[in-house]
Amino acid sequence: MTAGPSEQGHQVPERASVRACPGCVRVLRRARTASARRGLVALLAWTLPILAACGGVDTPPTMTAVNDSADQVLYELRHNLTSEGVLRAHLEADTAYFFQSAQRADLVGVTVVFYSPEGRQTSRLTSETGTYDWRSGNMDARGNVVAVTPDNRRLTTSMLRYHRATDQISGPNDFVFDAPDRHLEGESFTSDPEFKNVVTTRPRRGVVREGRRP
């Protein structure tokens, strides 16, 4: 993959996209201001390591400069999290506000799908907002957080954290967990992404449903 074009003489197309693939960001947005074009060069240098794994870029991504403290705003974010080359989670967001110095993205309209080492989907999480740390791969989900599994386990809370290094999920606030074999409510919890081992040190209510134990 060749280096990104220089700012001088470069014409940003009205509509551009980055090929959807592992670790890629797809953007569909018009560049309407000179500041957007200037910011494109800096952000391309930041995202080139991510795009390199895709085998190339169809056309340079178009991004819009924002007025607040964020460096750039991207739309339709798609990003894969891998461990030793194995897909472990797929992150999507309607909008992502990037902060280059902190290597952080603030997300709006978040969906995360978790996978087992064998490639099986283990759970799907949605939230109103979230944060993604590009250095560590850790994520926070906030606001109406709902996680569901293919075997009808469901956890709801107001905030949830995913720690990539340990592949563990935790939540500091009140939560409600329902499964075919049990019901659990409490304050703060830890769990695996499959929600088969939900643990709380501050339970409020728990019910084991007879006849439905695995």
Mapping DSSP onto H, E and C, the string for 18-60 reads CCCCCCCCCCCCCCCCHHHHHHHHHHHHHHHHHHHCCCCCCCC
* Nearest CA among 194, 197, 148, 163 for reference residue 83: 163
Entry pTM: 0.67
Q: What is the mean pLDDT of residues 19-38?
A: 39
Q: Are 18 and 27 in contact (CB under 8 A)?
A: yes
Q: How far is CA 8 from the centre of its chain?
A: 34
Architecture of the domain delimited by 66-208: Sandwich (2.60)
> Binning pLDDT at 50, 70 and 90, where does residue 10 land?
very low
As annotated, the residues of the chain forming the CATH 2.60.450.10 domain(s) are: 66-208
- Expressed in angstroms, the distance from the first to the final Cα of the chain is 51
pLDDT score at 193? 94
How many angstroms separate the CA atoms of 64 and 60, rounded? 13
Coil, strand or helix: which one is 118? coil
Q: For residue range 97-120, list pLDDT tens digits in order.
A: 999 888 999 999 999 999 999 999
Q: Which residues of 37-63 are buried (b: 16+ CB within 10 A; e: fewer)?
A: bebbbebbeebeebbeebeebeebbbb
Higher pLDDT, 172 or 214: 172
Characterize the bridge pairing of strands 104-115 and 72-83.
Answer: unpaired
Q: Give CA–CA dist 170/161, Å, rounded.
A: 5
